[in-house]
Amino acid sequence: MSIKIGDVDVANEIVELHFQVARTQLILDKLLEANPTLQFPQGTKMADIENEAIQILQRKFPSMGIKRK
């Protein structure tokens, strides 16, 4: 049985998001291991990345009114 909110299948979305987060964490770990001088984006660059992520969510879920906190 799945739970839907609007057009979103909540259970499938949760599993997919957990997979994507775990994969991204592993990729970052491997990149940092292979490139010890690699640095994470700071300040404005990190804010730009976060804003881009919010825009992606807004396009994916336009009826949810997603905004930056």
pLDDT of residue 69: 82
Between the alpha carbon of residue 50 and those of residues 39, 42, 62, the distances in Å are 17, 11, 17
Domain ranges of the chain: 1-38, 40-69
Contact residues for 48 (Cβ-Cβ < 8 A; gap 6+): 41
pLDDT of residue 1: 66
The per-residue pLDDT string of the chain (69 residues; one tens digit each, 9 = 90 and over) reads: 678 888 889 999 999 999 999 999 999 999 999 999 988 899 999 999 999 999 999 998 899 899 988
